[in-house]
Amino acid sequence: MSDNDARRMAVLLNAFRTHFPGPEPIVVRAPGRVNLIGEHTDYNEGYVLPIAIERDVRFACRSRSDRRVRLWSVNFQGGSEFDLDAIAPDPQQPWSNYVRGMAAVLVREGLLHRGMDAAIEGNVPIGAGLSSSAAMEVAAGVAFQVTGGFAIEAVRLAQLAQQAENEFMGVRVGIMDQFISLLGQAGHALLIDSRTLAYRAIPIRGEEHTFVVADSRQSRELAASAYNERRAQCEEAVRWLRAEIPEIRSLRDVSVGEFLRHSARLPAVVARRARHVITENERVLEAAAALEREDFARFGALMNESHESLRFDYEVSSEALDLLVAAARQVDGCLGSRLTGAGFGGCTVSLVRTAAVADFTAHVTRVYREFAGKEPFVYVTRPEAGAGVLA
C-alpha cells in the first residue's frame, strides 16, 4: 500500500469510527475508468474499449439489523439517511442519490433487505468524464452485497447500476462505465460488446508506451441534457434507416457501406450523429486488433480519428478539449489523443511513448495554461482491477 493509499484509508476509517461507533467496517472499492476508444457507442449496442483506473470510490461499511441506511461523505463533509421502504432523492446531499438509486434497484430485485452504515471517500475527479458516478454506484452495490449477505453475478450488478443511473438519476447512459468498474482487469483493456455483454481482455503489453490523462478542469454542466439529446438523435437515425434496412435494431447493425448508400434520406444533423457511431464501432474493433499485435502507431491514429469524429460529427468536444488534444499532438512521442467520456469538458487521453511523458506533461501544461488560463491536471494511468473488497 502506497503512502497516499494509507492516508486515504486512515481518513476513511477515522470518519467511519467517528460517525458510526461500534464494530469495525468492511472496506470496498470501485474504480473509475478511461475509455481508450469507442465513445457514445455503448447505448447504441456497439463496441467499447475501456480500462479501469487506479482512482476509485471507497465505502467503509457495516450491516444494520433494520432497514435504515446512514451515509457520511468524506469529500462533501455531509451526511444523509434514508429507509429502504421510502427511497427518494435528497436535494440537500445529491451525492447520496447514487447510493439511493442503487438501493432502489436492489430492493426492487428482492435482494436488499437490511440497511447499512457507510462512510464514503473517493478520488475520481467529479465531472471529469472518468465515471465517478458509475464508481459510486458500483461501490454502493458491492457494499450492499457484503453487508446485506447476498451474492449477485458481476454482469448483472453492472446492469442494475446502469438502471440506477437511467431511472433514478435520469441520465440514459449505456452499460460501459458500470461494466468496466466491476470487470476491469489489471494490465488489460476490455473489449465489450454492449449488446451481448460478451467481453474479451486485451493485454496492453510492454513499458514503452503509456496512456496519459489530461483533465481540462472544465465544467460538464451541459453533458447530461446533451447526452440524452444525442441518444434520441441516434434512435431517430435508426427509424429513418429502418425504412431501407428493415432488419436493423440499432446503429450497431448498420455498416459503413449501408450508411453511405442510405444516409441522404436522413436529416443532416441526425446523419452526422449516425456517421460517428457507425464509424466509431469499426474503429474500436480495429483498435483492439492493433493492441493485440502491439501496433501502437495504428492505435494512436485511430484515437486521432475518433476525436475528429466526436468533434465534428457528434459535436461533443469543447474548446478546452480541442486545445488539450492539439497540444498533445505537437509533442514528439505522442501517437494519438482524443477526448474521453461524454464530452463537453472533462478529460483527454493520449497514447505517449514512456520516454516522452515528462516532455508531454510540460508542453501540454504550458500550452493549456497560456491559452486557457488555468492548469490542467495531467497524470499517467494504467489498467487496474475492477471492484471488490479491500479490507
Amino acid at 127: G
Residue 253 has pLDDT above 90, yes or no: yes
Q: Are 351 and 49 in contact (CB under 8 A)?
A: no
Q: Are 100 and 87 in contact (CB under 8 A)?
A: yes
Residue 356 is classified by DSSP as: G
For 18, counting Cβ atoms within 10 Å of its Cβ (0-12 exposed, 13-18 middle, 19+ buried), the class is exposed
In this structure, which long-range contacts are made by residues 319-324, counting pairs with CB atoms below 8 Å and at least 24 apart in sequence?
A: 320/216, 320/218, 320/345, 320/368, 320/372, 321/216, 321/218, 321/345, 321/346, 321/348, 323/367, 323/368, 323/371, 323/372, 324/214, 324/216, 324/348, 324/364, 324/368, 324/376
Q: List, for residues 157-197, the tens digit of each pLDDT value.
A: 999 999 999 999 887 788 999 999 999 999 999 999 999 99
Q: How far apart (Å, rounded) are the C-alpha atoms in residues 119 and 62?
A: 9
In this prediction, residue 223 carries a pLDDT of 63
C-alpha torsion sign, points 111, 117, 122, 126? positive
Q: List, for residues 321-368, the tens digit of each pLDDT value.
A: 999 999 999 999 999 999 998 888 889 999 999 999 999 999 999 999
Does residue 120 or residue 125 have the better pLDDT? Answer: 120
CA torsion, ordered 207, 390, 215, 345, to nearest 10 deg: 130
56 catalytic per annotation? no
Residue 94 is classified by DSSP as: G
Q: List, for residues 31-89, the tens digit of each pLDDT value.
A: 999 999 999 999 999 999 999 999 999 999 999 999 999 999 999 999 999 999 999 99
Crossing angle for the helix pair 154-163 and 176-183, to the nearest 10 degrees: 150
Q: For the residues 124-137, what does the mean pLDDT come to?
A: 87
Q: Assign 185 to helix, strand or coil.
A: coil
Q: List, for residues 100-120, the tens digit of each pLDDT value.
A: 999 999 999 999 999 999 999
Q: How far apart (Å, rounded) are the C-alpha atoms in residues 104 and 98?
A: 10
pLDDT class of 220 with cuts at 50, 70, 90: low
- Residue 168 to residues 82, 88, 163, Cα–Cα distance (Å): 15, 9, 8
Q: List, for residues 284-319, the tens digit of each pLDDT value.
A: 999 999 999 999 999 999 999 999 999 999 999 999
Residue 219 has pLDDT above 80, yes or no: no
Amino acid at 123: N
- Which CATH code, of 3.50.50.60, 3.20.20.140, 3.10.105.10, 3.30.230.10, is assigned to 3-204+385-389? 3.30.230.10
CB-based contacts of 36: which residues, under 8 Å, 6+ apart? 49, 50, 51, 189, 211, 287, 303, 340, 349
Cell of 221: 454542466
In this prediction, residue 222 carries a pLDDT of 53
Query: What is the value of pTM for the model shown?
Result: 0.92
Q: How far apart (Å, rounded) are the C-alpha atoms in residues 33 and 383?
A: 9
Residue appearing with cell numbers 457484503: 146
Residue 18 has pLDDT above 90, yes or no: yes
Partner residues linked to 188 by β-bridges:
203
Residue 225 has pLDDT above 80, yes or no: no
Any idea where the domains of the chain sit in the sequence? Answer: 3-204+385-389
Q: How far apart (Å, rounded) are the C-alpha atoms in residues 140 and 240?
A: 40
Annotated active-site residue in 42, 56, 177, 313: 177
pLDDT class of 221 with cuts at 50, 70, 90: low
In this prediction, residue 308 carries a pLDDT of 98
